[in-house]
Amino acid sequence: MLIHIITLFPGMFEGVFQESILARAAARGLVDIRIVPLREFGLGTHRVVDDTPYGGGGGMVLKPEPIAAALESLDRRGRVVLTTPRGSLFTQNDALRLSREEVLTFICGHYEGVDERVSELLVDEELSIGDYVLTGGELPAMVMADAVVRLIPDVLGKDSLHTGDSHYEGLLEHPQYTRPREFRGMSVPEVLLSGDHARIQAWRRHMAREKTIQTRPDLLSRSGRAGAVTDSGTGRQGEGDDR
């Protein structure tokens, strides 16, 4: 996959894509992330990329010409995504959908926003990572790129490894444990030590639902799981909870 990120602040991406899974994916040729400095396409001697908004108001607005020029400089732009607080909420389903694209281009919004003609003429979709406002669209672009890249086949080593992650099936992930068996009086649930894989999977499904009910019940209503669900073999809520 080829990912372009058009940004006013290319320095923000230094190091982020050079560590961990993203770096390994790039080293193996599974993803190529290219940072495109928007300032290089600014107008005039001073490389101007913004201007005051028509109609008045505070702040500055990103001009359409530099963004259009940056896009036109790309050999391939693929699907173009604008990061903006007014965009649709980015979800795991979006990450999976975008991971199937051959080329992605993120435009990082900034200041008071981007000239509306960019959205109308140059962008395929607008996405947001949450109902809050950040200084710019760089952090959302990093988040989305990370979520997308880890879903590319072979990036995690096993194609199915991500299927147990939180949000993959509309639920949060079940609790995880490792050594030691006991820590400060709290023991690993016995079911995880049983070697009975059917019981373990049933416990994990049950606990994933319980975690979701406790902290993100909105996910259940969103995925249509709001009704009572009985997983096979999980009839005992306390199973595996003996400490």
Annotated catalytic sites, by residue?
85, 112, 150, 165
Are the CB atoms for 187 and 243 separated by under 8 Å? Answer: yes
Taking CA atoms, 53 is separated from 3, 37, 111, 137, in Å, by 30, 23, 11, 19
Which two tokens mark 66? Answer: 């530099």
| Other residues' Cβ atoms within 10 Å of the Cβ of residue 7 | 25
Say how far apart CA 48 and CA 61 lie, in whole Å: 11
Would residue 79 be called left, alpha or beta, if left means φ above 0 and alpha means ψ between -120 and 50 degrees?
Answer: beta
Residues with Cβ < 8 Å from 10, sequence gap 6 or more?
A: 35, 36, 37
Amino acid at 21: I
Amino acid at 208: A
Radius of gyration of the chain (CA): 22
